[in-house]
Chain A
Amino acid sequence: MSSSRERILDAAVVRIASDGIDAVRIARIAMDARVSTALVHYHFATREALLAEALEHSFATAGEVRDGTGDPVTRLRAMVEQCLPLPGEQERDWVLWVELWLRAVRHPELRPTAAKLYANMHDWFREAIEEGEFGPVDAAAIADRALALIDGFGVRALLGDPAIPLERARDEVWHALAGDLGLRAGTATS
């Protein structure tokens, strides 16, 4: 069922997260994906292309599986949860995300990928806020702030900052978001 291209991307996500985009060996990814090194080079001409596609691949899979429904508050809380570096796949995605920031600053050809991923996240939050009918709020501005807080707190949680464990990151982001939506923080966190 999975194509060789998908297997390459699955392997790339794991290897880039463990070794870093600069140090990762293409031959190793090929071995994990059970394809030839030439085929990896055929699909992905540069490391930038591989990183960009691996991230998009990882995010696309995540979105399909986890986009649950429920009441608007529960949904938004779940979305915040999905955006933080929880152990496992999300932590791996986060490592790639941090690698992407750095790589995209130096390689402008990666910036459209970064901009697209941010725009997707922004729309995802904005729509959930609008659909939640929280009253007259500026959904776009609230989404901007939530994403900035997720990145700022998330990267510290990822790096094991003792001042910002995951629970703290989650509470801080949710506290700000709940305030923006006019929810009472007490009921919203229960």
Chain B
Amino acid sequence: MSPRPTTGHVRRPAILRAAAEVIAERGVIGTRIADIAERADTSAPGVLYWFATKDELLTEALAFADDSFYAELSDELARLDGARARLARIVELWPAEGDAETVLWMELWVRALRDPAVGAARERLDGRWRAAIADVVREGQAAGEFQPVDPDGFALTLGALMDGFAIQLALHDPAVTPERVREHCMALVEERLGREGVADAI
């Protein structure tokens, strides 16, 4: 019989949580499989049973972190009334995820520069995020709360704005504070989606 871990269903999430922590601290290049194994309280072969490469650990760890983020997000959003309040919550929650998440995204970008498989994973993760924003925009439009602009186009722009600011927050740029970032993001919401906004889109 092959030495399959029988507690696999328990171990995979533990490995991914450990991978997210260790990679955020040391980077893909500076991380050894053994470091992740140690953090997850397993062995290097135990890690390699699930994940062949460090890049796979990075992309899967991000997808796993995203799963819990989206689960939490949909709970939070369900409790709120109105699409505007939901977008405000998205904006509020997202940079609050902190540096660890942003640094993993930066790892993803750097690895994606030179590895198409990581690039494909980046596209899936981005797509999910854009869809989450666009869904809230559609709800708002259906409820007559927002103007009928292209929801996917808006999601691209809000996503880009949030990322651009997240970079500066992660770099501890003294000129950028989380409050300012939220103001900028909500200003974009009003400007593009608001009923009273200047209608000069296109």
Contact = CB atoms under 8 A, between A and B. Distances in A.
Interface residues of A, number: 42
Interface string A128-170: 0000000000000100110111111101101111111000000
A119 B175 CA distance: 9
Of the candidates B171, B172, B176, the one having the most CB atoms from chain A within 10 angstroms of its own CB is B171
A105 B106 contact: yes
Contacts of A159: 109, 112-113, 119, 122
Contact of B163 (A22, A115, A155, A163): A155
Q: What DSSP secondary structure best describes chain A's contact surface? A: helix
Contacts of B13: none
B132 to A, nearest CB: 15
A145 B99 CA distance: 21
B171 A151 contact: no
Contacts of B159: 152
B36 to A, nearest CB: 17
Given A95-B113, A105-B106, 12 more contacts: A20-B113, A20-B114, A22-B29, A98-B110, A101-B106, A106-B27, A114-B171, A122-B175, A148-B164, A151-B164, A152-B160, A159-B109
Contacts of B180: 144
B194 to A, nearest CB: 13
Interface residues on B, range: 35 or more
B167 A99 contact: no
B157 A179 contact: no
Contacts of A99: 110
Interface in A51-74: none
A145 B102 CA distance: 19
B173 A118 contact: yes
B195 interface: no
A102 B107 contact: yes
Given A144-B184, A159-B119, A184-B200, A114 B173 contact: yes
Interface string B180-197: 100010001001000000
A103 to B, nearest CB: 9
A150 B164 contact: yes
A116 to B, nearest CB: 10
Interface string B112-124: 1110000100110
> 5 nearest interchain CB pairs?
A152-B160, A148-B164, A152-B164, A151-B164, A152-B163
